[in-house]
Chain A
Amino acid sequence: MNSTADSIEIAGRAYGSRLLVGTGKFRSHQVMRDALVASGADIVTVALRRVDLTNPAEDILSFVPPGMTLLPNTSGAVDADEAVRLARLGRAATGADLVKLEVTPDPRTLAPDPIHTLRAAERLVAEGFTVLPYCSADPVLCRHLEEAGCATVMPLGAWIGSNRGLRTRDAIEVIVSQAGVPVVVDAGLGVPSDAAEAMEIGAAAVLVNTAIAVASDPVAMARAFALATEAGRLGFLAGPGAVLDVAEASSPLTGFLA
C-alpha cells in the first residue's frame, strides 16, 4: 500500500501502516525488536509499568526501533486515578502527549472498565493528551468516548490475549458505521485472517500483540499480519459485492429486454 495514498490519520498526523503492534509477552527484547521491524508498523504501544528508566540496559524502550511512534499505555491501572497518573508519567518519560488508555480492574479477564475509561478519557483530554482508549465493543460507549474528545476508539475483538478472533464483529460493524474517529480493533485477533476480517468490515486499523509475540516465529507472524491488514484494507476499499442467500448469474437474466 502506498502510504501517502491511504494513510490513517490520528490526531492530525498521518501514518502509513494500519497495523499497530504491542510489546508484551515476547521471549526477548531482540525478538520483539525484529518483529516490530517486520510488522512495518508505525505505532508501537509499550506498557508504562514495564518501563524502567533507571535500568536502560534492560529497558524495553531501548529496543523500540527508531522512527516508530511510541504509544505508552496505562496497562495495570485499575481505575481512572491510576490511569491518569500513569499517563502523566508516560508523558514525562516520552515527551509525547499520546496515550493508549487502558483501565482493567479485573485481572482475570482484563476486560476494560467502561465507566473509569470514560472518566479518565475526559480528564486526560482536558489535560491536553491525545487519547486512544481501549474499550468494550459497545457502540454507545464509543459514542461517549468520541464526544469526550478521544482521537480514536479501540474496541476489543475478543478477550485480550485470547487469540479468539473477531468475536465482536456485529458490534464492530455498528461502531464503524457511526464513528467519526478511526476505529482500531484491539485485542483478541489471533491469526492474520482475523486482522483481514476486521479491515474488510471497515476498521481503520488493528492492534496486535499476543498473536505475534507467542507465535513460534514472531517475525514471520508480524509480516503475515502486516500483509493481512493491507489485504483486508484493500478488500474494504474495493467494495465487496453483497452476500446473497441464492446464486446470482454473472450476466443479468433479463439483459435481452434492453
Chain B
Amino acid sequence: MSAAPGLFAQHLASGSRLASGIDALLEPGVDLEALAVRAREVTLQRFGRAVRLFAPLYVSNACLSSCTYCGFSKGLDVARRTLTVDQVVEEASALVDKGFRHLLLVSGEHRIEVSADYLVSCVEALRGLVPSIAIETQTWSDDTYTRLVDAGLEGVVHYQETYDRTRYAETHVAGWKRDYDRRLASTERAAEAGVRRLGVGALLGLSADWRADVATVAEHAVWLQRHYWRTEVTVSLPRIKPSASGFQPLVPVSDAEYVQALSALRVVAPEAGIVLSTREPAVLRDGLVRIAVTHMSAGSSTEPGGYLHPGEAQEQFAVSDERSPAEVATMLKAAGYDPVWKDSFALK
C-alpha cells in the first residue's frame, strides 16, 4: 500500500508556489552570464569566500530496491558489501586523516543489513571522531530519525530523484523506494524529529523535463525553510553518471544548462547550501565554486570500504573529479576561497 501524500505533496498538488520566480530564470535563451553574476553576488553575500568540504562514506551497497539508473539496484549481479561498525570507524579515521570533519554515511536500501540499529550504532561510534555526521540511506517511517538525532546525527539527505510521478514510477520499479509519497514525506518526518540539516535534490537526466525538476527542488527547499524554521536546507542536482545499471539519461543536461540550473537555484533560494559532488568534472566544479556552490565532496569513493580497500565492492557510480582532498583544497585557495574542513561541533 502506498503512503498518503505528505504536506509538501499536498502543497505541490495545490498549485500554489513560493519559488515561482525560478521559471523565468530557467527558460532557454536566458542571459547566462548575467544570471551567474547575480548568483555569485548572492553566494558571496550569504556564504562569503568559504566552501565546506565533506566526504561520502559508503557503508553498504546492499539493496532491496530496484531503480533503473543505480549501480546498487537489487537485480544487478555485482559485488555486495556491508561494512561492520568497526570498519565504518576505520574508513572514517582514514577520512579524518585526510582532513575531513564532515561525513555523509551513504548506503543502498536494505533495511536488514542497514537497519536502524546499525545506523544508530554507526553514529554513536563516529560522534567522538567527527563533529558532523549525516546520512543518505533509505527513508524511515518509524522513530528512526528521532533515535539517530538522539545519537548525534546532524543531517539527512533524501533526493526525490524526480518529482514527476509517472517518470518516478517508471524508474523505481520495486522496493520501498517505489513509493513516491513515502519518500517525499521523509524529509518532513526527519525535520519533525529534529534533524537540523536536510538535503533535497533531483537526479537530472531522469526525467525529460529537467527544468520542472529543478523548479520543484527550489520549491521543496523554500517550502521546507518556511515550514521547519529550525532546519537548514541544502540542495543538490546530481546529473546521471555511468553506472553498472547501464542507464542512459532520457535527456542529457548540458554544462551550460547545468550552470543555469544551479545559478537559478541560488537566486531563488539564497539561504540554501548548494552541494556539488565528484560526479562532475574538475573544470566544472572549479567554475561553479565561483558562482553558486558552497558544499563540496572531494577525493570520493562510491564503493563501501573504498577508502582503505578499493576495488572489493561495486561502486554506485563513476566519479569524474578524481583529485585528492588536498588538491581540491589547493584549488579552492588558488581561486580565492577558504576550504572549510570543520564548521560544526559535536552535538552529543
Contact = CB atoms under 8 A, between A and B. Distances in A.
Interface of A: 24-29, 48-52, 55, 58, 76, 78, 82, 86, 89, 105-108, 161-163, 210, 213-214
B344 interface: yes
B336 interface: yes
Indicate the size class of the contact surface on chain B. 20 to 34
Given A107-B231, A213-B48, 7 more contacts: A24-B48, A25-B50, A27-B336, A49-B342, A50-B340, A51-B342, A214-B49
Given A27-B336, A78-B230, A52 B48 contact: no
Choose among B46, B336, B338 the residue with the greatest number of A CB atoms under 10 Å from its CB.
B338
Contacts of A82: 347
Interface string B327-348: 0000001001110111111010
Interface string B13-54: 000000000000000000000000000000011111110000
A89 B344 CA distance: 13
A169 B196 CA distance: 33
16 contacts: A25-B47, A25-B50, A26-B338, A27-B336, A49-B343, A51-B342, A76-B344, A89-B345, A105-B229, A107-B232, A108-B271, A161-B45, A161-B46, A210-B45, A214-B44, A214-B49
Interface of B: 44-50, 99, 101, 131, 196, 225, 229-233, 271, 333, 336-338, 340-345, 347
A58 B100 CA distance: 12
B345 A48 contact: yes
Contacts of A107: 196, 230-233, 271
A27 B231 contact: no
- Chain B facing A: main interface SS: loop
A105 B196 CA distance: 10
Contacts of B347: 82
Contacts of B337: 27
A76 B343 CA distance: 9
Contacts of B333: 28
A106 B344 contact: no
Contact of A106 (B47, B229, B338, B340): B229
A27 B229 contact: no
A50 B101 CA distance: 10
Nearest to B96: A54
A118 to B, nearest CB: 19
Contacts of B232: 107
B290 to A, nearest CB: 11
A108 B48 CA distance: 15
A105 B230 CA distance: 5
A27 B343 contact: no
Contacts of A163: 45
Interface pairs A-B: 10 shortest CB-CB? A25-B48, A27-B49, A107-B232, A52-B342, A27-B336, A108-B271, A49-B345, A214-B44, A105-B230, A106-B229
A58 B99 contact: yes
B231 A76 contact: no
A48 B343 CA distance: 9
A55 B341 contact: yes
Contacts of B45: 161-163, 210, 214
Contact of A214 (B48, B99, B229, B345): B48
Given A107-B271, A214-B49, A58 B344 contact: no
Contacts of B345: 48-49, 76, 86, 89
Contacts of A50: 340, 342-343
Contacts of A58: 99, 341
A29 B230 CA distance: 30
A209 B255 CA distance: 35
Contacts of A76: 343-345
Contact of A29 (B44, B48, B338): B338
A91 to B, nearest CB: 14
Nearest to B230: A105
Nearest to A106: B229
Contacts of A106: 229-230
A210 B49 CA distance: 10
B129 to A, nearest CB: 10
A28 to B, nearest CB: 6
A108 B233 CA distance: 9
Nearest to B333: A28
Contacts of A105: 229-230
B181 to A, nearest CB: 26
A106 B336 CA distance: 29
A86 B131 CA distance: 13
A230 B50 CA distance: 30
Contacts of A25: 47-50
A57 B345 CA distance: 19
A199 to B, nearest CB: 24
B340 A108 contact: no
Nearest to B41: A214
Nearest to B345: A49
Contacts of A52: 101, 341-342
B230 to A, nearest CB: 5
A62 to B, nearest CB: 13
A24 B342 contact: no
